[in-house]
Amino acid sequence: MAGMSAGGVLWRAASAAASTIRVPDSLPDPRRPAGTPTAALPFDHIVVVMMENHSFDNLLGALAHSGQPKAQGLKFSTKGIALNSNPGAEGPVRSFPFPTTAQGPHVSQSWNATHEQIDEGKMDGFVRSVGDRQPMGYWTQDVLPFAYSLARTFCVANRWFGSAPCQTYPNRRFLMAGTAYGNISTDTESLLDPPPPNGTIWDRLHHYGISWRNYFTDLPSVGVIGSTVEKYPQNLSPIAQFFTDCAAGNLPSVSIVDPEFGVAGEVGGPLSKLPALQPIAEKLNTTGGSEENPQDMAYGEYWASQIVKAVLASPAWPRTLLIYTYDEHGGYYDHVPPPAAIAPDSIPPKLGPGDVPGGYDIYGPRVPTIVASPYSKPNAVTKVVHDHTSFLATVEAKWNLPRLTYRDANAKTVMDFLNVESPAFMNPPTIADAPAPVGAATTP
């Protein structure tokens, strides 16, 4: 098997053992009709919040020293100095704390940069990929009190990986369709691609009459698969409606809630040019509050804290599950090598002549992910391997929906974050406040 990647070996082994691998369009529970919910998953509302561009070590690297000793973050000396490092031009560059919420522009999560960073599992190419020390920075709970409080209160994933070693759009496609179907970058042209061959989770929900909604701050993220906004304009709602629906206990079955991407930003810029979104975009002058570099983290931290507090205060909270995650690592350092992954389908990445060879048979670097629910294990961690298709697997398992691709068909649900026998948070806990930055919009 010389020259075959680890992911290729895994895929071929899985294919040879057909009895051990679940296939697209199969039902999670063949004994009950498709589209019917199960009481075994103790929630009626799933809310997913996907922020932008941070690795586990970058956002929560000091969590083990901030109230969650089982968190697999950075290593520290007895004096509290981070010991992780990457080689630089003038010697090792050690992990260091960012003193404020500011972040610079010197990180990259492109296909080529990410492969250089992973470096076949050595995780030593972060500084080299951009020629700068910024990728080795991390935040502490003093600077990001909300993120640390949320992770310390509920159950945090030690091994939730980006779905692919590349940028935002392909990873968000995995969240919604279980495949990036060729895409490796965040670009305008990809928004005009046809729908994925086996559809999206939104198609599945619509087909079986299960309510869903994309609440957006400036631009809806379902636009990364451009046809979605054309097919389901009635499922797109401004963020003010989210707060109204939370307060009324009127959340749909599945919600994706988006931060401000910014019409001038790397993510929002292409979305603003999508024909179906131009009527929205032309009225905007947003700069971004999704925590993507070089945005000030304070804006995203405050926005996210308001979203989570609205969910906790909702009359629907006793039957709600919130997945709080990040699309990809943003070029920031993480020390855990991504494992091999099951390729979602037979569609290879669309690589140019200068792109590193590879496929969708390896995850991207780890991202921070927290599951909040009345049934979440309190102040806990899970070591189960997840990626963004675990959101799909959870939705599919709850409503017995046909699976989309090999990836989500074989992904783990988030049930390992929960203790269904002993709900610890029927009375919602208090999460630390994130200070409101100057100019931040207040809760409606």
CATH superfamily of 28-82+140-417: Alkaline Phosphatase, subunit A (3.40.720.10)
Burial of 236 from C-beta contacts in 10 A (0-12 / 13-18 / 19+): buried
Identify the pLDDT of residue 23: 97
- The contacts of residue 376 (CB under 8 Å, 6+ apart) are 154, 155, 417, 418, 419, 424, 425
Say what percent of the chain tops pLDDT 90: 92
pLDDT of residue 191: 95
pLDDT class for 6, splitting at 50, 70, 90?
Answer: very low
pLDDT for 13 equals 40
Alpha-carbon distances of 371 from 25, 166, 430, rounded to whole Å: 27, 24, 15
pLDDT, one tens digit per residue, over 144-190 is: 999 999 999 999 999 999 999 999 999 999 999 999 999 999 999 99
User: Does residue 17 carry a pLDDT above 80?
Assistant: no
Residue 149 backbone phi and psi in degrees, to 5:
-65, -45
State the pLDDT at residue 373. Answer: 98
Per-residue pLDDT reduced to its tens digit, 264-308: 889 999 999 999 999 999 999 999 999 999 999 999 999 999 999
**Kind of pairing between the strands at 370-372 and 320-326:** antiparallel
DSSP character for 38? -
Q: Residue 14 — pLDDT band, cuts 50, 70, 90?
A: very low
CA distance 127 to 86: 6
> Which tokens go with 262?
């910014």
pTM of the model: 0.94
Which pLDDT does position 245 carry in this prediction? 98
pLDDT of res. 20: 83
**pLDDT of 59-90, one tens digit each?**
999 999 999 999 999 999 999 999 999 999 99
**Rounded distance between C-alpha atoms, residue 363 and residue 341, angstroms:** 6
Can you give the residue ranges of every domain in the chain? 28-82+140-417
The answer to whether residue 99 scores a pLDDT higher than 60 is yes
pLDDT tens digits for 412-424? Answer: 999 999 999 999 9
Residues in a beta bridge with 216: 238
**Residue 71's pLDDT is what?**
98
The pLDDT score that the predictor gives to residue 444 is 53
Q: How confident is the model at residue 443 (pLDDT cuts 50, 70, 90)?
A: low
The mean pLDDT value for 393-401 works out to 98
* Nearest-angstrom CA–CA distance, 406 and 426: 35
Beta strands in 109-244 (DSSP E): 137-138, 155-157, 212-216, 236-238
- Sequence-distant (≥ 6) Cβ neighbours of residue 117 within 8 angstroms: 123, 125, 126, 129, 135, 331, 333, 365
pLDDT reading at 194 higher than 90:
yes
Q: Which residues contact 282 (CB under 8 A, 6 or more apart)?
A: none
How do residues 114-124 score in pLDDT, each as one tens digit?
Answer: 999 999 999 99
Question: Residue 15 — very low, low, confident or very high, per pLDDT cuts 50/70/90?
Answer: very low
Distance CA 403, CA 409 (A): 5
141 close to 161: Cβ distance less than 8 angstroms: no
Q: What are 212-249's pLDDT values in tens digits?
A: 999 999 999 999 999 999 999 999 999 999 999 999 99
pLDDT for 438 equals 76
**Which helix or strand (DSSP H or E) is residue 409 part of?**
helix 406-409
pLDDT, position 313: 98
Mean pLDDT of the chain, nearest integer: 94
Report the Cα 60 to chain-centroid distance in Å.
Answer: 15
Is 60 exceeded by the pLDDT of residue 7?
no
Lowest mean pLDDT among 17-31, 66-80, 422-436: 17-31
Rg for the chain (alpha carbons), in Å?
A: 20
pLDDT bracket for residue 440 (50, 70, 90)? low
CA distance 188 to 135: 26
More confident call, 4 vs 284: 284
Q: Which residues contact residue 353 at a Cβ distance below 8 angstroms, ignoring those fewer than 6 apart? A: none
Return the closest-CA partner of residue 320 out of 71, 49, 60: 49
